[in-house]
Amino acid sequence: MIRSINTEGWVELRGEQIPVEKGTLNLAGMHIRDLDEVHGLYSVKSLKKLNLSENYLVDISGLAKIENLEELSLFNNKLRDMRDVKLLRNLKSLTLSRNKIVDIAGLENCEKIAELFLDDNSINEIRGLETLAHLRILWLGDNRIHEIKGLDRLAALEELYLGYNGISKITGLDHLVNLRELVLFYNDIVDIEGFDNLMNLENLNLNHNRIKEIKGLGNLRKLKTIAVGKNPLPEQEIKRCGGVDKEGLALDPVKFYLACRKEVVT
**For the whole model, what pTM was predicted?**
0.94
Q: Considering only residues 28 and 255, tell me which one the structure prediction assigns the higher pLDDT.
A: 28
pLDDT band, very low/low/confident/very high, at 266 (cuts 50, 70, 90):
very low
The DSSP-derived string for 221-251 is TT--EEE--SS---HHHHHHTT-B-TTSBBS
According to DSSP, the residues that pair with 94 across neighbouring strands are 72, 116
Phi and psi for 90 in degrees, rounded to 5?
A: -100, 5
pLDDT above 90: percentage of residues in the chain: 89
What does pLDDT average to over the chain?
Answer: 93
Closest CA to 94 of 140, 62, 130, 125: 140
* 223-231 long-range contacts, CB within 8 A, separation 24+: 223/253, 223/254, 223/256, 223/257, 224/253, 225/249, 225/250, 225/253, 226/250, 226/253, 226/256, 227/185, 231/206, 231/207
Residue type, 57: L
Q: Using one digit for the tens of pLDDT, what is the confidence trace for 100-159?
A: 999 999 999 999 999 999 999 999 999 999 999 999 999 999 999 999 999 999 999 999
Q: Is the pLDDT of residue 6 over 50?
A: no
What is the distance of C-alpha 197 from the center of its chain?
Answer: 21
* Residue 209 CA: distances (Å) to CA of 3, 192, 205: 59, 10, 10
pLDDT above 70: percentage of residues in the chain: 95
**CA 243, CA 250: separation in Å to the nearest integer?**
6
